[in-house]
Amino acid sequence: MTDPSEQRPRVLVARKLFDDLLDPLRARCHLQYHDEDRAAEPARLRQWMADKDGVLLTASERVDGALLDASPRLRVVSTMTVGFDHIDVGACAARGIVVTHAPDVLTETTADFGIALLLAALRQIGEAERYLRAGRWQGWSPDAFAGADLHGSTLGIVGMGRIGRAIARRASLGFGASIVYHNRNRLDPQLEAESRARYSSLDSLLEQSDHVLLALPFSPAAHHLIGGVEIARMRRGATLVNIGRGGLVDEAALAQALQDGRLGAAGLDVFEGEPRVDARLLQAPRLVLTPHIASASLPTRRAMVRLAVDNLLAVLDGRAPPNPVALGG
């Protein structure tokens, strides 16, 4: 007689998360848990997924065709992130594998951070703190660390999804900034009005903005969306902030523009080769660097994991998941 427990789906959680939030998986699945605070090496991930029906992962694990070919039982890939450029969605769809992600729950926290990183950059908070901690402060000076203002400025937002719109509301209502935006598709008039934002071409946005903030997902078409040519279009002394994905910015061009004084300041939470950071960025002045923490409040990170678990179990139960990724994203 077959043991009913053997019919339970087999699931891999590929990274150390919040242990108590995995109890629903333990109750209904055979759970393999990579209880380490680092990404599994690709060879180990491939070995673990060989007999799995589902996997819950983070942005650190990459899912491509080769990994899928080695995972013949796989039915669902659930990422706790809102972005899914680390997953070959087309390859999953071709194999009938559902991909899910975790939007919405991180919108407000990420928008808070976007404003915080922008303010830290344009007010030179990072450099000022390092200056003080190094014992170099000898007294007040009228032009020491005199940066730029957000209030009364023009903020250009590239990527006007949920996070971009939340940033626009904060900057317009809280700081009195004028908002221009560029998006793959123009927003409908009601969303534009709610965001107090007006649509612009990318070139025009770069030319008229005092500060430019990137809040869009990565795609091959968006690789180095902001490079040397685009930086040259920006106002001299402008600020550039990226909370989207690292590949959106040509980091060498950004570092050079800061060294040359072409840009006034910049803030990066994401990097093209993360966790590796280009040495030229580490040497660049007036640049605030943070280690991919835009969504890192404890309530939000827990909500992301909880949603990823819900998505995973829905597919394994034969139900429609709350947050499927559509082919073409």
**What CATH number does residue 61 fall under?**
3.40.50.720
| Domain presence at residue 325 | no
List pLDDT tens digits, range 230-266: 999 999 999 999 999 999 999 999 999 999 999 999 9
Structure confidence at residue 7 (pLDDT): 86
Band of pLDDT at residue 3, cut at 50, 70 and 90: low
Q: What is the mean pLDDT of the chain?
A: 95
Report the SS3 class of residue 164.
Answer: helix
Handedness of CA 80, 11, 38, 278 (dihedral sign): negative
Structure confidence at residue 227 (pLDDT): 98
186/168 same-domain check = yes
18/128 same-domain check = no
| Domain presence at residue 323 | no
| Domain presence at residue 269 | yes
| Domain presence at residue 163 | yes
Band of pLDDT at residue 327, cut at 50, 70 and 90: confident
List pLDDT tens digits, range 255-300: 999 999 999 999 999 999 999 999 999 999 999 999 999 999 999 9
| Domain presence at residue 324 | no
Catalytic site residue from 46, 292, 302, 306: 292
pLDDT, mean of residues 113-136: 97
Question: How many distinct structural domains can be found in the chain?
Answer: 2
| Domain presence at residue 327 | no
The rounded distance, in Å, linking the Cα atoms of 47 and 71 is: 9
8 Å CB contact between 86 and 325: no
245 annotated active-site: yes
122/202 same-domain check = yes
8 Å CB contact between 111 and 119: no
126/142 same-domain check = yes
225/84 same-domain check = no
52/84 same-domain check = yes
| Domain presence at residue 265 | yes
135/98 same-domain check = no
Distance of CA 112 to the CA centre of its chain: 13
135/275 same-domain check = yes
CB atoms within 10 A of CB 6: 8
Structure confidence at residue 328 (pLDDT): 60
Structure confidence at residue 4 (pLDDT): 53
94/113 same-domain check = no
The rounded distance, in Å, linking the Cα atoms of 305 and 81 is: 9
Give the domain extent around 199: 107-289
- Kindly state the percentage of the chain with pLDDT values over 90: 92
184/285 same-domain check = yes
pLDDT, mean of residues 308-312: 98
| Domain presence at residue 321 | no
Q: Has residue 178 got a pLDDT over 60? A: yes
Band of pLDDT at residue 6, cut at 50, 70 and 90: low
274 annotated active-site: yes
306/266 same-domain check = no
Terminal C-alpha separation, the chain:
45
Q: Has residue 213 got a pLDDT over 90? A: yes
150/98 same-domain check = no
The rounded distance, in Å, linking the Cα atoms of 143 and 125 is: 14
Band of pLDDT at residue 111, cut at 50, 70 and 90: very high
Catalytic site residue from 245, 262, 286, 301: 245
